[in-house]
Amino acid sequence: MSVINSNWHDLQLRLISAFLLLIVSAFCIYFGSYLFTFFVISLVGVMHWELGKMLSPLSAQAMWFSAALSITATFFLLETNSFVLPIIILMVNFYFQKYFFHHNSTFGAYYSLAVIICGVIFYRIRLEFGLYHTFWLIGVVVFTDTAGYLIGRVIGGPKVFPRISPKKTWSGVLAGWFAVALFSWSFVENIAPQNLFLKFVSISIILSVSAQIGDMIQSHLKRRSYVKDSSTLLPGHGGFMDRFDGFVGATVVTGLFFEWVY
Protein backbone atom coordinates (compact mmCIF):
# COMPACT_ATOMS: atom_id res chain seq x y z
CA MET A 1 0.00 0.00 0.00
CA SER A 2 2.82 2.41 0.85
CA VAL A 3 4.43 1.80 -2.56
CA ILE A 4 1.14 2.57 -4.33
CA ASN A 5 0.67 5.73 -2.30
CA SER A 6 4.22 6.85 -3.06
CA ASN A 7 3.52 6.46 -6.77
CA TRP A 8 0.57 8.84 -6.59
CA HIS A 9 1.54 11.22 -3.78
CA ASP A 10 2.02 14.12 -6.20
CA LEU A 11 -1.08 13.48 -8.32
CA GLN A 12 -3.32 16.09 -6.66
CA LEU A 13 -0.69 18.83 -6.93
CA ARG A 14 0.01 17.85 -10.54
CA LEU A 15 -3.68 18.07 -11.43
CA ILE A 16 -4.20 21.46 -9.78
CA SER A 17 -1.04 22.97 -11.33
CA ALA A 18 -1.82 21.46 -14.73
CA PHE A 19 -5.39 22.79 -14.64
CA LEU A 20 -4.32 26.34 -13.78
CA LEU A 21 -1.57 26.27 -16.40
CA LEU A 22 -4.03 24.95 -18.97
CA ILE A 23 -6.51 27.76 -18.27
CA VAL A 24 -3.89 30.49 -18.57
CA SER A 25 -2.33 28.94 -21.69
CA ALA A 26 -5.68 28.39 -23.42
CA PHE A 27 -6.75 31.97 -22.69
CA CYS A 28 -3.56 33.45 -24.17
CA ILE A 29 -3.56 31.13 -27.17
CA TYR A 30 -7.24 31.65 -27.96
CA PHE A 31 -7.16 35.46 -27.87
CA GLY A 32 -3.75 35.65 -29.60
CA SER A 33 -2.37 39.04 -30.58
CA TYR A 34 -0.14 40.82 -28.05
CA LEU A 35 -1.34 38.59 -25.22
CA PHE A 36 -0.09 35.48 -26.99
CA THR A 37 3.19 37.19 -27.91
CA PHE A 38 3.71 38.10 -24.26
CA PHE A 39 2.86 34.52 -23.24
CA VAL A 40 5.43 32.97 -25.59
CA ILE A 41 8.22 35.41 -24.71
CA SER A 42 7.52 35.09 -20.98
CA LEU A 43 7.56 31.29 -21.17
CA VAL A 44 10.93 31.32 -22.94
CA GLY A 45 12.26 33.73 -20.32
CA VAL A 46 11.05 31.68 -17.35
CA MET A 47 12.55 28.49 -18.77
CA HIS A 48 15.89 30.28 -19.21
CA TRP A 49 15.68 31.59 -15.66
CA GLU A 50 15.37 27.97 -14.55
CA LEU A 51 18.16 26.91 -16.90
CA GLY A 52 20.50 29.57 -15.50
CA LYS A 53 19.57 28.66 -11.93
CA MET A 54 20.21 25.00 -12.60
CA LEU A 55 23.51 25.40 -14.47
CA SER A 56 24.91 28.28 -12.39
CA PRO A 57 23.65 27.51 -8.86
CA LEU A 58 26.30 29.66 -7.14
CA SER A 59 25.56 32.77 -9.19
CA ALA A 60 22.89 35.28 -8.23
CA GLN A 61 22.95 36.97 -11.65
CA ALA A 62 23.35 34.21 -14.25
CA MET A 63 19.68 33.20 -14.23
CA TRP A 64 18.54 36.79 -14.77
CA PHE A 65 21.08 37.43 -17.52
CA SER A 66 20.05 34.21 -19.25
CA ALA A 67 16.35 35.11 -19.03
CA ALA A 68 16.88 38.70 -20.20
CA LEU A 69 18.97 37.66 -23.21
CA SER A 70 16.52 34.93 -24.26
CA ILE A 71 13.57 37.33 -23.97
CA THR A 72 15.37 39.92 -26.12
CA ALA A 73 16.42 37.32 -28.69
CA THR A 74 12.91 35.83 -28.92
CA PHE A 75 11.30 39.26 -29.28
CA PHE A 76 13.47 40.17 -32.26
CA LEU A 77 13.07 36.72 -33.83
CA LEU A 78 9.28 37.06 -33.69
CA GLU A 79 9.42 40.47 -35.31
CA THR A 80 11.82 39.78 -38.19
CA ASN A 81 11.23 38.14 -41.57
CA SER A 82 14.88 38.26 -42.54
CA PHE A 83 16.93 35.13 -43.22
CA VAL A 84 20.34 36.31 -42.01
CA LEU A 85 19.33 38.24 -38.88
CA PRO A 86 17.81 35.23 -37.03
CA ILE A 87 21.03 33.29 -37.56
CA ILE A 88 23.06 36.15 -36.09
CA ILE A 89 20.67 36.49 -33.13
CA LEU A 90 20.84 32.76 -32.38
CA MET A 91 24.65 32.73 -32.63
CA VAL A 92 24.93 35.69 -30.23
CA ASN A 93 22.51 34.00 -27.84
CA PHE A 94 24.48 30.75 -27.99
CA TYR A 95 27.78 32.52 -27.23
CA PHE A 96 26.52 34.48 -24.23
CA GLN A 97 24.35 31.70 -22.80
CA LYS A 98 27.41 29.46 -22.85
CA TYR A 99 29.24 32.19 -20.94
CA PHE A 100 26.43 32.55 -18.37
CA PHE A 101 26.30 28.81 -17.61
CA HIS A 102 29.06 27.71 -15.25
CA HIS A 103 28.81 23.95 -15.90
CA ASN A 104 27.38 21.87 -18.74
CA SER A 105 27.71 25.15 -20.61
CA THR A 106 27.76 23.79 -24.17
CA PHE A 107 24.86 21.42 -23.48
CA GLY A 108 22.96 24.26 -21.84
CA ALA A 109 23.62 26.66 -24.72
CA TYR A 110 22.27 24.16 -27.24
CA TYR A 111 19.22 23.57 -25.05
CA SER A 112 18.75 27.34 -24.92
CA LEU A 113 18.62 27.40 -28.73
CA ALA A 114 16.04 24.62 -28.71
CA VAL A 115 13.80 26.51 -26.25
CA ILE A 116 13.97 29.75 -28.26
CA ILE A 117 13.36 27.96 -31.59
CA CYS A 118 10.44 26.14 -29.96
CA GLY A 119 8.93 29.49 -28.95
CA VAL A 120 9.32 30.94 -32.45
CA ILE A 121 7.85 27.87 -34.19
CA PHE A 122 4.94 27.72 -31.75
CA TYR A 123 4.24 31.39 -32.40
CA ARG A 124 4.29 30.81 -36.17
CA ILE A 125 1.96 27.83 -35.91
CA ARG A 126 -0.63 29.90 -34.07
CA LEU A 127 -0.20 32.81 -36.47
CA GLU A 128 -0.10 30.92 -39.77
CA PHE A 129 -2.03 27.70 -39.12
CA GLY A 130 -4.66 28.79 -36.60
CA LEU A 131 -6.18 27.46 -33.41
CA TYR A 132 -7.01 23.91 -34.50
CA HIS A 133 -3.47 23.02 -35.46
CA THR A 134 -2.08 24.78 -32.40
CA PHE A 135 -4.25 22.70 -30.08
CA TRP A 136 -3.44 19.59 -32.12
CA LEU A 137 0.26 20.07 -31.34
CA ILE A 138 -0.50 20.71 -27.68
CA GLY A 139 -2.79 17.67 -27.61
CA VAL A 140 -0.05 15.41 -28.98
CA VAL A 141 2.28 16.43 -26.14
CA VAL A 142 -0.41 16.30 -23.44
CA PHE A 143 -1.66 12.84 -24.46
CA THR A 144 1.90 11.55 -24.70
CA ASP A 145 2.76 12.84 -21.25
CA THR A 146 -0.51 11.91 -19.54
CA ALA A 147 -0.75 8.38 -20.94
CA GLY A 148 2.92 7.79 -20.22
CA TYR A 149 2.55 9.02 -16.65
CA LEU A 150 -0.60 7.04 -15.84
CA ILE A 151 0.25 3.74 -17.54
CA GLY A 152 3.87 3.94 -16.47
CA ARG A 153 2.78 4.28 -12.84
CA VAL A 154 0.12 1.56 -13.07
CA ILE A 155 1.97 -1.09 -15.09
CA GLY A 156 5.60 -0.13 -14.59
CA GLY A 157 7.99 -2.63 -16.11
CA PRO A 158 11.36 -2.29 -17.85
CA LYS A 159 12.94 1.15 -18.03
CA VAL A 160 13.81 2.77 -21.35
CA PHE A 161 17.07 4.49 -20.36
CA PRO A 162 17.41 4.17 -16.56
CA ARG A 163 20.66 6.15 -16.44
CA ILE A 164 19.08 9.09 -18.25
CA SER A 165 15.43 8.99 -17.17
CA PRO A 166 14.95 6.49 -14.33
CA LYS A 167 11.15 6.79 -14.23
CA LYS A 168 10.37 6.35 -17.93
CA THR A 169 9.14 2.83 -18.74
CA TRP A 170 8.45 1.07 -22.03
CA SER A 171 4.81 0.62 -20.97
CA GLY A 172 4.46 4.39 -20.60
CA VAL A 173 6.22 5.08 -23.91
CA LEU A 174 3.99 2.67 -25.85
CA ALA A 175 0.89 4.01 -24.08
CA GLY A 176 1.84 7.52 -25.18
CA TRP A 177 2.12 6.44 -28.83
CA PHE A 178 -1.23 4.64 -28.69
CA ALA A 179 -3.01 7.58 -27.02
CA VAL A 180 -1.61 10.02 -29.59
CA ALA A 181 -2.67 7.75 -32.48
CA LEU A 182 -6.26 7.74 -31.15
CA PHE A 183 -6.20 11.50 -30.59
CA SER A 184 -4.91 12.16 -34.11
CA TRP A 185 -7.47 9.80 -35.62
CA SER A 186 -10.20 11.79 -33.83
CA PHE A 187 -8.64 15.06 -35.02
CA VAL A 188 -8.68 13.94 -38.67
CA GLU A 189 -12.21 12.58 -38.37
CA ASN A 190 -13.62 15.84 -37.06
CA ILE A 191 -11.37 18.66 -38.29
CA ALA A 192 -8.69 17.80 -40.84
CA PRO A 193 -9.30 16.61 -44.43
CA GLN A 194 -9.61 12.84 -44.79
CA ASN A 195 -6.81 12.67 -47.35
CA LEU A 196 -4.40 13.76 -44.61
CA PHE A 197 -5.29 10.81 -42.36
CA LEU A 198 -2.08 8.80 -42.77
CA LYS A 199 0.10 11.90 -42.69
CA PHE A 200 -1.46 13.29 -39.53
CA VAL A 201 -1.40 10.00 -37.62
CA SER A 202 2.16 9.20 -38.73
CA ILE A 203 3.45 12.68 -37.95
CA SER A 204 1.63 12.70 -34.61
CA ILE A 205 3.36 9.49 -33.53
CA ILE A 206 6.73 10.90 -34.66
CA LEU A 207 6.01 14.03 -32.61
CA SER A 208 5.08 11.83 -29.66
CA VAL A 209 8.48 10.16 -29.94
CA SER A 210 10.08 13.62 -30.22
CA ALA A 211 8.27 14.74 -27.07
CA GLN A 212 9.58 11.70 -25.20
CA ILE A 213 13.11 12.35 -26.46
CA GLY A 214 12.78 15.99 -25.36
CA ASP A 215 11.75 14.75 -21.93
CA MET A 216 14.75 12.44 -21.71
CA ILE A 217 17.18 15.14 -22.89
CA GLN A 218 16.02 17.46 -20.14
CA SER A 219 16.19 14.62 -17.61
CA HIS A 220 19.76 13.95 -18.70
CA LEU A 221 20.62 17.63 -18.26
CA LYS A 222 19.14 17.60 -14.76
CA ARG A 223 21.06 14.48 -13.80
CA ARG A 224 24.30 16.02 -15.06
CA SER A 225 23.49 19.07 -12.95
CA TYR A 226 22.63 16.95 -9.88
CA VAL A 227 19.13 18.38 -9.46
CA LYS A 228 15.77 16.63 -9.25
CA ASP A 229 13.67 19.47 -10.69
CA SER A 230 14.49 22.54 -12.75
CA SER A 231 12.76 24.69 -10.08
CA THR A 232 9.79 24.65 -7.71
CA LEU A 233 7.61 27.11 -9.64
CA LEU A 234 4.99 24.48 -10.56
CA PRO A 235 3.97 22.37 -7.53
CA GLY A 236 3.77 18.69 -8.42
CA HIS A 237 5.68 19.17 -11.66
CA GLY A 238 8.86 20.94 -10.59
CA GLY A 239 9.52 23.80 -12.95
CA PHE A 240 8.32 25.02 -16.32
CA MET A 241 11.17 23.15 -18.01
CA ASP A 242 9.92 19.95 -16.40
CA ARG A 243 6.46 20.63 -17.79
CA PHE A 244 7.46 21.83 -21.27
CA ASP A 245 10.49 19.63 -22.01
CA GLY A 246 8.44 17.32 -24.23
CA PHE A 247 6.81 20.30 -25.89
CA VAL A 248 10.23 21.66 -26.86
CA GLY A 249 11.14 18.40 -28.59
CA ALA A 250 7.82 18.03 -30.40
CA THR A 251 7.61 21.67 -31.52
CA VAL A 252 11.14 21.81 -32.92
CA VAL A 253 10.45 18.67 -34.99
CA THR A 254 7.09 20.13 -36.07
CA GLY A 255 8.98 22.93 -37.76
CA LEU A 256 10.61 20.34 -40.03
CA PHE A 257 7.22 19.03 -41.20
CA PHE A 258 5.60 22.30 -42.32
CA GLU A 259 6.23 21.73 -46.00
CA TRP A 260 5.45 18.02 -45.89
CA VAL A 261 2.05 18.42 -44.23
CA TYR A 262 0.94 21.10 -46.64
Q: How confident is the model at residue 2 (pLDDT cuts 50, 70, 90)?
A: very low
58 burial level (CB within 10 Å; 0-12, 13-18, 19+): exposed
Domain boundaries, the chain: 1-31+131-262, 33-129
Predicted local confidence at residue 94, as pLDDT: 96
CB distance 211 to 231 below 8 Å:
no
| pLDDT (tens digit per residue) in 98-114 | 999 998 999 999 999 99
| pLDDT (tens digit per residue) in 142-179 | 899 888 888 877 887 778 777 777 778 888 889 888 99
Predicted local confidence at residue 1, as pLDDT: 42
Predicted local confidence at residue 194, as pLDDT: 65
d(CA 52, CA 64): 8
Least confident of 47-56, 140-149, 186-195, 215-224: 186-195
| Residue 64 pLDDT exceeds 50 | yes
Q: Which residues make Cβ contacts (< 8 Å) with residue 113, sequence separation at least 6? A: 90, 93, 94
182 burial level (CB within 10 Å; 0-12, 13-18, 19+): middle
Mean pLDDT of the chain: 85
* Percent over 90 (pLDDT), the chain: 41
d(CA 107, CA 82): 27
Q: What is the mean pLDDT of residues 193-220?
A: 85
50 burial level (CB within 10 Å; 0-12, 13-18, 19+): buried
pTM, rounded to two decimals: 0.89
More confident residue, 161 or 64: 64
